[in-house]
Amino acid sequence: MPARPFRALMLTLALLAALVILPRQAQANDLSHAFLLEELFEIMAQEGRRSTLADGAVPLQGGILARFEQDVNRIYAPERMQAAFVARLEAELQARPEQRADALEFARSDLGKRVLQLEISARAALLDDSVDETARLALERAREANPSSPEAARLGLVRERIDANDLIELNVSLGLNTSYAYYRGMLEQDAVQGLTADLLLQLVWAQEAEIRADIEDWIESYFLMAYQPLDDAEMRALIDYAATPLAVGFNQAMFRAFDTVFSDISHALGRALGERMRLEEL
């Protein structure tokens, strides 16, 4: 093929590729903007760094601990987390454009925008330990309240919202998968003596009840706090929407994307900790 026609063909293919990529990028930007993903992953990164580096959480000290802290900050890079999440979510939705369109329509509605902003604001506020404690005390009062009280009624609506998208089970599954990925990373570094693949599965499943209890407490206290400004009619509208087949499908696609991202993060954390533990032993 002559050089000039070949270059012309390559230019044409490149332009066609750009025409395909640009709409996909625009779609990804639509999702990120509508669902406040930049803010969400910044908060999630802070949550991850804090929980990983909490006092006594890792058996390291001194310079080795400082280097592990650098590992953690690198692994919990919010921009990279968000990009990986959006890429997986877009792949999930490629064959389900109706789920994507429906989710965007809700996110851009007055109720959707308000709900998403309330959820982000509450999650950011819960980074403060005193706010988290207050939210958990409010949940405890609601659980102990007279069944006919406004507190009990609101908790009932919160639980309907949770049940509409099976959020307890999805989060428990996510917790078990990330725990397994974390220990698998350590196992790959020979950082846990006597731990085999079979024992690892037993170890993870032994955590199921504790993970479930923690998730139930956290998600109920979180939604109870986040949705406090919504009146009962708005809560009912939110629950009714969340229970629709399209909303359920979109939520499941989001959790599959979260599972991919956080399993990868947990695996990387396990490997990083395992490596630092081996270096500390030398």
**Looking at residues 27-49, what average pLDDT do you find?**
91
Model pLDDT, residue 194: 78
Model pLDDT, residue 22: 39
Domain-embedded: residue 246: yes
Domain-embedded: residue 225: yes
pLDDT tens for residues 154-172?
A: 999 999 999 999 999 999 9
pLDDT tens for residues 95-144?
A: 999 999 999 999 999 999 999 999 999 999 999 999 999 999 999 999 99
Q: What pTM value is reported for the model?
A: 0.87
More confident residue, 194 or 262: 262
Domain-embedded: residue 98: yes
Domain-embedded: residue 260: yes
**Looking at residues 74-85, what average pLDDT do you find?**
96
Q: Is the pLDDT of residue 24 over 80?
A: no
Q: Is the pLDDT of residue 90 over 50?
A: yes
Looking at the structure of the chain, the number of domains it has is 1
Report CA torsion sign: 231, 136, 167, 98: positive
Model pLDDT, residue 13: 46
Q: Is the pLDDT of residue 73 over 80?
A: yes
* Average model confidence (pLDDT) across the chain: 89
Q: Print the domain residue range for 251.
A: 34-49+78-281
Q: Is the pLDDT of residue 11 over 50?
A: no
150-164 and 232-242 are packed helices; what angle lies between their axes, rounded to 10 degrees?
20
Q: Is the pLDDT of residue 27 over 60?
A: no
Domain-embedded: residue 269: yes
Report CA torsion sign: 126, 39, 211, 179: negative
Model pLDDT, residue 10: 42
User: How does residue 77 score in pLDDT terms, banded at 50, 70 and 90?
Assistant: very high
pLDDT tens for residues 224-251?
A: 999 999 999 999 999 999 999 999 999 9
Domain-embedded: residue 116: yes
Q: Is the pLDDT of residue 67 over 80?
A: yes
Burial 57-85 (b: 16+ CB within 10 A, else e): ebebeeebeeebbebbeebbebeebbbbb
Domain-embedded: residue 72: no
